[in-house]
Amino acid sequence: MAIEDDVLVIGGGLAGATAALAAADRGRQVRLVSYKQSTLRHASGLIDVLGYAPAGDGPLVDPFDALADLPEGHPYERVGSEAVRDALAFFDDIAGEAYAGSHTDANALVPTHGGTVKPTARYPVSTAAGLASDDRDALLVGFDTLPDFEAPLAASHLEAAGVPFEARGVTVRFPGITRDDAKITRYAHLLDHDESVETAAGETTARDALTETIRSHLEGESRVGFPAILGDERADAVRADLADRLGVDVFEVPMGPPSLPGMRLEDRLYDALEERGVRVTTGVPVVDYETGAGETGPNGPERIDHVVVDRNGSEIPHRADQYVLATGGLVGKGVRSERERVFEPIFDCHVPHAADRYDWFVDDVFGDQPYARFGLPVDRDLRPLDAADEPEFSNLRAAGAVLGGYDFAAEKSGAGVSLATGYVAGRRAASEGER
């Protein structure tokens, strides 16, 4: 007996979680199925809308000014700028006080672990005191057991980028950590629980030891930036305690994967899914589908009757009225490539690409790579289109990185596209189910 839902979302990243929340917000019965652990824990936790125009212009001050000029087929062109605003407002309600940036349309400039500055629309409050638009001098602190953040190098890159403040970086030893392969959650746990640690001066607590270490390096800076490891369950309290002890503002610098800000965002989203009654099933890949009753015939799009998931070798059918595909792009394997073709592996939806695989890329590693835009073309209802620009299925929508027509890495638009298209796909799926 197939499991029945109003809306079934395939994929557990930002796009999938947003789609499920948006559909559940309309009172629909929603299930989310995901094969792997959410990609959110590998993300920076920043919500970028559009940092650079497709032609490379930027960083953009106001991303909404540029949305109207995006090319046909871009995900933002498909959903429209008002939907982007609605999706951000939806995110603001879920994120609550954990995120800042809703007070303005302008991008904030958030320094990252490499010393680059990322234009972003919403950012964790833990990063707020570190914005590059702030003219207060900053001390960046790195740890010798955490090589992913070279504080002196990051500081020099910031100054080379022309930030309006003096940045200085130091590398110190983190109290209680001796191994350079310790998980970032270990750093956070020490600070969360203010555990006892051994120092040259004797036994003390992690926060005391860290405070004393940093105090000796301050040279009048009014803010101090740490890699994003300042607590997990009690991150706000850890940051506030360190700021009080040091007498300066304390902020986190977003890191590469694995990312505590990404994990915190994942926890917030999945808590919201639970609160709204969304049934979440992880570790089960969708391996097949069948069309059935309700097909519109040879001259119209078919209707998906159910999908099949592989649960420990058993094939379990899941039936829903509407489906949302949010499985990611080439990196997440929601789009795959072989020597002769590029394809979407679950429903075999059409992925436009050149017939000659040597036209999928250019020799310049920093050039405009065609493969970066590989993904599903969709109509304005976010239904995937076939090679004749007709909907593949009447009850399937796509959202997030599985979509084509944009280069999220170059545009700094990945999270924004996932949020906007996930929101629209979930709302449209819920509305369709009401008819």
Of 138, 143, 172, the residue nearest 155 (C-alpha): 138
Q: 342-343 and 196-199 as β-strands: parallel, antiparallel, unpaired?
A: unpaired
DSSP annotation string for 54-71: TTS--S-S-HHHHHTTSP
Query: What residues in the chain have per-residue pLDDT under 70?
Result: 1-2, 293-299, 358, 362, 364-367, 433-435
CB-based contacts of 316, cutoff 8 Å, min separation 6 = 3, 284, 308, 309, 310
Give me 130's structure tokens. Answer: 């570190």
First to last CA, the chain: 25
Q: What is the pLDDT of residue 354?
A: 79
**DSSP3 helix / strand / coil % (the chain, rounded to 5):** 30, 25, 45
Q: What is the pLDDT of residue 261?
A: 94
Q: What is the pLDDT of residue 433?
A: 56
- Whole-angstrom Cα distance, residue 15 to residue 10? 10
Q: How far is CA 11 from CA 3, 36, 126, 355, in A?
A: 17, 8, 28, 29
**How many other CB atoms sit within 10 Å of the CB of residue 244?**
11
CB-based contacts of 401, cutoff 8 Å, min separation 6 = 13, 15, 328, 329, 331, 332, 334, 375, 408, 414, 417, 418
Q: Are the C-beta atoms of residues 13 and 328 closer than 8 Å to each other?
A: yes
Taking the CA atoms of the chain, what radius of gyration do you get in angstroms?
Answer: 23
Which amino acid is residue 58, in one-letter code? G
Token pair 């940045």 is found at: 167
Q: How far is CA 372 from CA 85, 300, 375, 416, in A?
A: 25, 31, 9, 17
Q: What is the pLDDT of residue 325?
A: 98
Q: Are the C-beta atoms of residues 18 and 422 closer than 8 Å to each other?
A: yes
Q: What is the pLDDT of residue 37?
A: 75
**How many other CB atoms sit within 10 Å of the CB of residue 185?**
14
Query: What structural domains and CATH numbers belong to the chain?
Result: 3-98+263-434 (3.50.50.60), 113-253 (3.40.50)
- Whole-angstrom Cα distance, residue 85 to residue 309? 35
Q: Exposed, middle or buried, 26 (CB in 10 Å: 0-12/13-18/19+)?
A: middle
